[in-house]
């Protein structure tokens, strides 16, 4: 169970929306604030260490700081910006978290444990959200049915990691930004969060342990390539022609495969980081031999690998149009498709799904919560 007390939660809910969260400040901004209040620069490093390394949740607990500075911080900022709302534990060990934000909206994160051949925990991955809802509206994604509510700020992005680590008393080894939302459409906040997360001062994660998943916002992919600490990039591809991709991913009408591949080649040239292509296999839609040929050509343009992903059922969203027609590929079809790609010297992994028994589809738990709040059945 969570360690936050009922009284602390009530106090946070009463105050959280009234003051900015200090985790929304860059480390330079923390230092600027401290100095503007007449305190020494090194106090900023103490604050940063308390928040990000010790994960202190109230300013009163910051024992190294003078009383006057703690009072200033207390009057100006909050530290906690999200609260644990619900969680679902799967038989496969994965856990889906629902978090409540200050404005009452909900987001999700999914904890995925990876075990070795001996059945022991090898590493842990956390899939986190970057938005409430999503404007991209992919036909296969439950989050899109929520519509776009708002962007998450840096503190709300980072705290998903902190809340899960505290609940499980563990250290998250890898983070994938592929939960609710399109991270490259929330570029400023996501990049600020990444800079904080990958800083030597925060000790949260190495950039090599972070993957950002995008539906293909070509100009932002190029912008990301020019960041000082670029992370691993995963592209939600899911089709090998513009016609099919536009059917299931409307964003492709703005950034077709030509523009997307141009941005991907730029990303690799700048960063030398191999690309991951995510490919949900749908029966009779993107599973032909011609798709194998085209996907192999795409994968060979820069060093990359293809993750073939099972389709999570979204029937609970009452899908319409093309969403209603999507059919999952069988395991045999996925294996056959992967074999044909491997025969063309493409690196391929067939991904297992996590949490089939715990409202696993992206956005499902948040959508359920929204319906409960609105009285929809």
* Longest alpha-carbon distance in the chain: 69
Q: Is 138 a catalytic residue?
A: no
User: How far apart, in Å, are the Cα atoms of 210 and each of 100, 131, 302, 314, 326?
Assistant: 24, 17, 20, 27, 30
Q: How far is CA 216 from CA 203, 221, 323, 332, 371, in A?
A: 30, 7, 20, 29, 30
Annotated active-site residue in 182, 362, 369, 370: 362
The answer to whether 362 is a known catalytic residue is yes
Choose, from 57, 78, 108, 159, the residue flagged as catalytic: 108
Other CB atoms within a 10 A radius of the CB of residue 208 amount to 12
CA distances from 114 to 15, 173, 201, 347, 354 (A): 38, 11, 28, 20, 10
Which residue, among 213, 210, 216, has the nearest Cα to 263 in the 3D structure? 216
Residue count of the chain: 377
Residues 287 and 247 sit within 8 Å (Cβ to Cβ): no
Contact status, residue 123 vs residue 116, Cβ threshold 8 Å: no
Instruction: List active site positions.
Output: 108, 362
């Amino acid at each position: 169970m969570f360690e936050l007390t009922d009284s602390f939660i009530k106090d946070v809910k009463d105050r959280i929306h009234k003051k900015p969260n200090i985790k929304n400040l860059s480390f330079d901004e923390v230092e600027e604030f401290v100095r503007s209040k007449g305190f020494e620069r090194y106090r900023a490093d103490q604050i940063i260490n308390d928040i990000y390394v010790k994960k202190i949740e109230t300013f009163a607990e910051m024992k190294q700081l003078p009383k006057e500075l703690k009072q200033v911080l207390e009057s100006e900022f909050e530290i906690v910006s999200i609260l644990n709302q619900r969680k679902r534990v799967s038989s496969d060990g994965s856990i889906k978290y629902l978090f409540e934000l200050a404005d009452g909206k909900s987001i999700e994160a999914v904890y995925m444990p990876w075990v070795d051949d001996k059945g022991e925990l090898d590493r842990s991955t956390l899939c986190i959200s970057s938005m409430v809802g999503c404007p991209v509206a992919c036909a296969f994604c439950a989050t899109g049915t929520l519509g776009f509510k708002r962007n998450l700020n840096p503190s709300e992005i980072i705290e998903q990691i902190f809340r899960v680590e505290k609940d499980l008393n563990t250290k998250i080894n890898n983070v994938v930004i592929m939960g609710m939302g399109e991270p490259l459409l929330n570029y400023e906040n996501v990049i600020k969060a990444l800079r904080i997360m990958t800083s030597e001062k925060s000790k949260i994660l190495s950039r090599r342990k972070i993957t950002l998943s995008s539906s293909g916002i070509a100009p932002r992919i190029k912008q990301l390539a020019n960041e000082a600490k670029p992370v691993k990039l995963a592209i939600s591809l899911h089709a090998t022609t513009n016609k099919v991709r536009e059917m299931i991913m409307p964003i492709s009408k703005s950034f077709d495969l030509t523009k997307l591949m141009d941005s991907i080649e730029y990303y690799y040239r700048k960063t030398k980081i191999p690309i991951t292509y995510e490919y949900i296999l749908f029966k009779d839609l993107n599973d032909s031999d011609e798709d194998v040929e085209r996907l192999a050509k795409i994968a060979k343009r820069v060093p990359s690998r293809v993750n073939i992903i099972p389709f999570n059922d979204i029937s609970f969203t009452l899908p319409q149009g093309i969403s209603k027609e999507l059919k999952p590929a069988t395991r045999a079809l996925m294996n056959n498709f992967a074999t044909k790609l491997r025969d063309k010297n493409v690196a391929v992994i067939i991904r297992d799904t996590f949490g089939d028994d715990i409202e696993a589809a992206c956005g499902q738990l948040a959508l359920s919560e929204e319906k409960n709040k609105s009285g929809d059945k």
